[in-house]
């Protein structure tokens, strides 16, 4: 639209000069009134309006997107398949919001450190703070980590298998693989947003290649997972924290001057607690709100058949003869003590050991025919008392059962024995590769009633769907017994756990079961207490297994053996009482156990039921 100008409007006189001002044309604004007209029409007609249910859903969606507090964990909305425990949520929140994503997760065994690490990882992914992630774990745990991250957290983690696997965003690998060529250069040449290291106590010595490799990793956030951040020396704790946050405790000499009386006794505990609280969280089973089902333990005494007892007595006599001939050299006799334990397990186990011993013995040795006499006695044994009792118990349960044995030969025998009785049993052992172990676990979960595991099944696998366990034979190391039980008695177990210990009367096995169960009440201790008891008991003077073997070999009679084992049991009972009270009344000066002291110094999150 044009507008004419007039001299009056368009010009101004200033002497002989004139200035012309141009006026901008008016703009005709076009407004979209369709929505308003539509609203007027609907008002006139009384509708139609959108569905009320759809409106409510829209409101709920908008409310769900609201962030009420920055301290919230956003990842909890993305976990439809499971609900974390309160202490796990509190731990993850503390790591993210107070510790800057660098922390030692030092919960006691079975409290879900893997879940806590998964929550932290998921939170950083949801917030866009982590994309490239490396998770280093023992080789036997790689597939378990991958499965949990995929199934519970929806994180597309992959197990490292080939060189190209390092290119994925979230990779789970063993540290032994990662530190070897050609993988080492690839891993050390990458920048990671988050690194998680499981079983981190294996890095406690800074002189090892594992520690040095982990120290070279380039990362923004880092989580170290271990139930035992310190075992024998305060330097172990210093090394782990320095790996996590260099300078947190100062230099080595500064740390020793400020916080160490001797290698096992800290000082300036308030300052040390303050330093630890910013990097370590330790939840304990005794903390409120953490609930475990009960465990029931039953010892099942069994009388050996005449043939089995004759073999045991003959093997015992053979072992003691060799010990006397060696002049009391215990180091050379430990393998022979195994013979007695194998007789209590199965004829198959002791047969293989005797045959190998026979082959290694010189042909002109007078010992050789004695070994063959024992082999001949094995031929008289037609049945296995323990196997028959195990079968009876399995039928009685009518549910899934895990059977632990010490020996591969016994495992093979039991597999055949159950097969002959038309019962599906699957093996689990250390020699299997990752894929086969995973396959065996899936078979046990889905089809088989029985899983027969050697000691490799005592760590790294979760069997909460099973609550019956049979110790076909018991290790002499109580920690390994507890590790077995921890496979089924852990968070996520909804049933009370039933544990059955088979023990043969009149053998060393009977004494061991009595020692572990009656004297130190092994099956009612938490793993932290057990660790402390054994550490104090051994005190650098040989392991419990070595002391038991020495007693067995030197005892002149069964009565003498019982007396010596009774004294050992009393010593363990006393130490157990000291550990529970955190005191040592027999020491000349206060000497609190280091791990007990660390529990008091460690930072435990608040847990609400």
The answer, yes or no, to whether residue 9 has pLDDT greater than 50, is: no
The predicted pLDDT at position 568 comes to 78
Query: What number is the average pLDDT over the span 86-94?
Result: 89
The predicted pLDDT at position 27 comes to 56
CATH architecture of 74-281: 3-Layer(aba) Sandwich (3.40)
Cα 467 to Cα 366, 380, 387, 489, distances in angstroms? 50, 37, 20, 8
pLDDT over 90, % of the chain: 20
Per-domain boundaries in the chain: 74-281, 295-299+382-542+551-594, 302-378
How far is it, in rounded angstroms, from Cα 65 to Cα 57? 13
Query: What number is the average pLDDT over the span 556-579?
Result: 76
For residue range 368-392, list pLDDT tens digits in order. Answer: 888 888 888 888 888 899 999 999 9
The predicted pLDDT at position 87 comes to 87
pLDDT band at 5 (very low <50, low <70, confident <90, very high): very low
Query: What number is the average pLDDT over the span 239-246?
Result: 86
How far is it, in rounded angstroms, from Cα 318 to Cα 588? 44
The answer, yes or no, to whether residue 12 has pLDDT greater than 50, is: no
pLDDT band at 544 (very low <50, low <70, confident <90, very high): confident
The predicted pLDDT at position 521 comes to 62
Query: What number is the average pLDDT over the span 167-188?
Result: 90
The predicted pLDDT at position 29 comes to 57
Domain 74-281 matches domain 295-299+382-542+551-594 at the CATH topology level: yes
The predicted pLDDT at position 453 comes to 92
For residue range 278-326, list pLDDT tens digits in order. Answer: 888 888 766 656 677 888 888 899 998 999 989 988 988 888 888 777 7
For residue range 94-134, list pLDDT tens digits in order. Answer: 999 888 899 999 887 777 888 999 999 999 999 889 999 99
Compute CA 596 distance to the chain's CA centroid, rounded to the nearest angstrom.
20
The answer, yes or no, to whether residue 601 has pLDDT greater than 50, is: no
The predicted pLDDT at position 492 comes to 76
What does the radius of gyration of the chain's CA atoms come to, in whole angstroms?
34
* pTM (2 d.p.): 0.65
The answer, yes or no, to whether residue 2 has pLDDT greater than 70, is: no
Average pLDDT, the chain: 79
How far is it, in rounded angstroms, from Cα 522 to Cα 368? 40
* Better-predicted residue by pLDDT, 2 or 212: 212
pLDDT band at 541 (very low <50, low <70, confident <90, very high): low
Give the range among 142-151, 288-297, 597-606 with minimum mean pLDDT. 597-606
The predicted pLDDT at position 452 comes to 94
Query: What number is the average pLDDT over the span 436-453?
Result: 89
The answer, yes or no, to whether residue 593 has pLDDT greater than 50, is: no
Q: How many C-beta atoms lie closer than 10 Å to residue 71's C-beta?
A: 11
| DSSP result, 105-161 | E-PPTTS-HHHHHHHHHHHHHHTTS--SEEEEE-GGGHHHHHHHHHHHH----EE--
| DSSP result, 273-321 | HHHHHTTEE---TTSTT-----EEEEEEEEPPPHHHHHHHHHHHHHHHH
* Better-predicted residue by pLDDT, 201 or 409: 409
pLDDT over 70, % of the chain: 79
Place of tokens 């572990």: 516
Contact 340, 323 (CB under 8 A): no
Q: Highest mean pLDDT: which of 101-105, 436-440, 581-585?
A: 101-105
Length of the chain: 609
Query: What number is the average pLDDT over the span 203-214?
Result: 86
| DSSP result, 365-414 | -THHHHHHHHHHHHTT----HHHHHHHHHHHHH-S-EEEE-S-HHHHHHH
The answer, yes or no, to whether residue 17 has pLDDT greater than 80, is: no
The answer, yes or no, to whether residue 596 has pLDDT greater than 90, is: no
How far is it, in rounded angstroms, from Cα 531 to Cα 201? 14
Our CA angle for 308, 311, 317, nearest 5°, is 140
pLDDT band at 491 (very low <50, low <70, confident <90, very high): confident
The answer, yes or no, to whether residue 140 has pLDDT greater than 90, is: no
Q: Which CATH class is domain 295-299+382-542+551-594?
A: alpha beta
* Better-predicted residue by pLDDT, 12 or 513: 513
pLDDT band at 231 (very low <50, low <70, confident <90, very high): low
Token pair listed for 156: 């597309």
């Amino acid at each position: 639209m044009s507008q004419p100008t007039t001299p009056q409007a368009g010009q101004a006189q200033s002497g002989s000069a004139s200035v012309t001002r141009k006026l901008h044309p008016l703009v005709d604004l076009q407004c979209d009134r369709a929505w308003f007209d539509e609203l007027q029409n609907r008002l006139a007609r009384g509708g139609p309006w959108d569905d009320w249910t759809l409106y409510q859903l829209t409101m709920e969606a908008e409310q769900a997107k609201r962030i009420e507090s920055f301290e919230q964990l956003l990842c909890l909305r993305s976990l439809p398949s499971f609900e974390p425990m309160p202490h796990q949520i509190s731990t993850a929140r503390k790591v993210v919001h107070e510790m800057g994503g660098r922390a030692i997760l030092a919960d006691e065994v079975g409290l879900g450190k893997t879940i806590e690490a998964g929550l932290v990882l998921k939170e950083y992914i949801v917030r866009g703070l982590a994309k490239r992630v490396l998770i280093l774990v023992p080789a036997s745990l790689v597939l378990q980590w991958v499965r949990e991250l995929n199934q519970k957290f929806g994180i597309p983690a992959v197990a490292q298998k080939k060189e190209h696997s390092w290119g994925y965003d979230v990779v789970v690998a063993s540290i032994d693989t990662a530190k070897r060529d050609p993988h080492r250069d690839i891993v050390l040449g990458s920048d990671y947003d988050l690194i998680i290291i499981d079983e981190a106590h294996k890095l406690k010595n800074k002189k090892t290649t594992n520690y040095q490799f982990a120290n070279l990793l380039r990362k923004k956030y880092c989580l170290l997972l271990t139930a035992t951040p310190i075992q024998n020396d305060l330097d172990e704790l210093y090394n782990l924290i320095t790996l996590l946050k260099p300078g947190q405790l100062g230099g080595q000499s500064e740390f020793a001057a400020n916080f160490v009386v001797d290698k096992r006794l800290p000082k300036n505990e308030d300052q040390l607690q303050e330093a630890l609280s910013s990097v370590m969280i330790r939840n304990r089973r005794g903390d409120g709100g953490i609930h475990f089902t009960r465990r029931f333990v039953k010892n099942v005494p069994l009388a050996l058949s005449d043939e089995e007892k004759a073999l045991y007595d003959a093997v015992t006599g053979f072992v003691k003869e060799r010990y006397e001939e060696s002049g009391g050299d215990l180091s050379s006799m430990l393998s022979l003590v195994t013979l007695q334990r194998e007789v209590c397990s199965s004829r198959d186990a002791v047969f293989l050991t005797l045959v190998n011993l026979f082959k290694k013995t010189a042909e002109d040795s007078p010992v050789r025919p004695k070994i063959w006499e024992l082999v001949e006695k094995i031929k008289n044994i037609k049945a296995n008392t323990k196997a028959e009792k195990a079968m009876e118990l399995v039928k009685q349960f009518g549910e899934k059962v895990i059977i632990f044995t010490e020996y591969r030969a016994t495992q093979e025998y039991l597999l055949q024995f159950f097969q002959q009785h038309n019962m599906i049993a699957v093996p689990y052992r250390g020699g299997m590769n990752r894929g086969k172990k995973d396959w065996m676990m899936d078979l046990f979960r889905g089809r088989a009633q029985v899983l027969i595991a050697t000691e490799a099944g005592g760590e790294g696998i979760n069997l909460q769907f099973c609550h019956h366990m049979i110790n076909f034979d018991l290790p002499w190391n109580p920690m390994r017994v507890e590790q077995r039980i921890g496979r089924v008695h852990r968070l996520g177990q909804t049933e009370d756990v039933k544990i059955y210990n088979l023990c043969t009367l009149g053998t060393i096995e009977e004494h061991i079961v009595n020692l572990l169960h009656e004297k130190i009440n092994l099956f009612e201790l938490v793993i932290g207490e057990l660790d402390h008891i054994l550490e104090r008991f051994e005190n650098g003077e040989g392991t419990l297994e070595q002391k038991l073997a020495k007693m067995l070999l030197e005892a002149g009679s069964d009565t003498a053996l019982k007396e010596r084992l009774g004294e050992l049991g009393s010593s363990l009972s006393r130490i157990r009482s000291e550990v529970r009270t955190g005191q040592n009344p027999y020491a000349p000066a206060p000497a609190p156990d280091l791990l007990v002291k660390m529990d008091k110094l460690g930072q435990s999150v608040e847990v609400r039921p």
